[in-house]
Structure 1
Amino acid sequence: MTLRAELSAIAEPLVAKVMEHPFWTGLREGTLPPSSLWYFAEQDARHVVPAYARALARCAGIAERDEHGELLCSAATATFGSLPKLAAGLSGLAAGQSPAGPDGTVARPVVHAYASFMLAGSTVSFATGIVSLLPMTWFHLFVSNDLQKRCDPRSRYASWVEQYPPGGDYEGYVNAFLAMVDEMGAQCSAADRSRLVDRFLVGARYEWAFAEAAWQRQEWAV
């Protein structure tokens, strides 16, 4: 079994749980509290996406194969390039409400942990680095496609949902990323492969935890 097939079997039930989380359900139906969407969008734009971009660049820097470095550098550049769009989206949300609460420039507990997890992967190995990024890479495609298919057009968040999916050939990028993961899986030992699977599972759990943190508007306890 390829590593992609093994991870796909793990991802399928987890993606289903993520997409049925009250955060995403409420976003599709228009019942999500505005403060939860603000929490998600602000933390995503200021912390999660920048961490993802930097982690991509770090992995590119240690890639042994030029084509892997090229893929990751291009993805890092595109991700950094998306930050102004995300900032503009925040301005649009802020225009419709007066977000209250702690300073959004501070990463919340789950977000801080997830960002650190992604950034730390490449310090272990190239394979660990890219597997650490795979959940965000892959789940974003699933969630974006699901939102486009199932979002109620009458939802007050329909315009936000419309701009949420990444531009360009994102599905092609995900497939290229998965092909790279498969190459790493074919080269590693059984023990290393098991560690990669465990790493992927942790990242996938963070995808659910981020939605939960936004739903609960989780803050630091002290």
Structure 2
Amino acid sequence: MSTRAELSAIARPLVAKVKEHPFWTGLRAGTLPPSSLWYFAEQDARYVVPTYARALAMCAALAERDEHGTLLCSAASATFGSLPKLAAGLSELAAGLPVAGSDSTEARPMIHAYTSFMLAAPTISFAAGIAGLLPMSWFHLFVSDDLRERCEPGSRYASWVAQYPPGGDYEGYVNAYLAMVDEVGAQSSKTDRKRLVEHFLIGARFEWAFAEAAWRHQEWAV
């Protein structure tokens, strides 16, 4: 079995769970509490996406093949380049939601764990690094497509949903990333292949946990 096929089999039920999480179903229907959307959008723009960009750059530095380094550098650059737009969108969201925008500079518990995982994975190996980051790219594509297809017309969050999907040839990028993972998996030792799969699964679980944290407004206990 190819690495891509193995990861696809792992991803399928997890993606289904993510798409049917109350956070995403509530966002599609327009019934999501505004505070949950703010929690997600703020943590994503301030912590998750910037860390993803840095982790991509870390993986690029480890790439042995130039084409892999090129793909990852391009993705890191594009992600860093998206940060001003995310910041502007966050300000617009704060102005339009009946909740006070947070001035906190602190990542919430689960987000701290997720971003720490992103930065730690490349220190184990190139394979572990790219596998750990894959769910954020891949699941974002699945969720964005699902939002386009199933968002209730006229939903109170329709404008936010409209800007959430990535622009450009994002599907092409994800397919190129999957091809890279497939190549690396095919050339990996049994131990490295196991680490690759394990880190992919952890990253996928964090994608569900991020929605859960936003839904439950998870905060530090002390």
Q: Deviations over 1:100-133 (max 9, x none)?
A: 4864321001100000101111111111110010
Q: Which runs of 5+ in 1 are unaligned?
A: none
Corresponding residue of 1:17: 17
Quote the Cα distance in structure 2 between the aligned partners of 1:33 and 1:191: 44
- Cα offset for 1:212? 0.2
Does residue 97 of structure 2 align to residue 94 of structure 1?
Answer: no
Amino acid at match of 1:156: R
Corresponding residue of 2:59: 59
SS of structure 2 residue aligned to 1:182: helix
My pick for the range that moved more, 210-219 or 90-99, is 90-99
1:106-121 correspondence runs (5 A): 106-121=106-121
1:130-141 correspondence runs (5 A): 130-141=130-141
- Cα offset for 1:89? 1.1
Amino acid at match of 1:88: A
TM-score by length of 1: 0.97
Corresponding residue of 1:185: 185
- Cα offset for 1:37? 0.2
SS of structure 2 residue aligned to 1:196: helix
CA separation of 1:102 and 1:161: change in aligned 2, threshold 3 A: closer
1:18-167 correspondence runs (5 A): 18-97=18-97, 99-100=99-100, 103-167=103-167
Quote the Cα distance in structure 1 between the aligned partners of 2:16 and 2:73: 30
Amino acid at match of 1:147: L
The number of equivalent residue pairs is 222
SS of structure 2 residue aligned to 1:31: coil
1:191-206 correspondence runs (5 A): 191-206=191-206
Corresponding residue of 1:2: 2
TM-score by length of 2: 0.97
Quote the Cα distance in structure 1 between the aligned partners of 2:35 and 2:82: 23
- Whether contact under 8 Å (1:39, 1:217) holds in the other structure is yes
My pick for the range that moved more, 176-185 or 90-99, is 90-99
Amino acid at match of 1:69: G
Amino acid at match of 2:9: A
CA RMSD, Structure 1 to Structure 2 (Å): 1.1
- Whether contact under 8 Å (2:127, 2:192) holds in the other structure is no
SS of structure 2 residue aligned to 1:219: coil
SS of structure 1 residue aligned to 2:167: coil
Corresponding residue of 1:212: 212
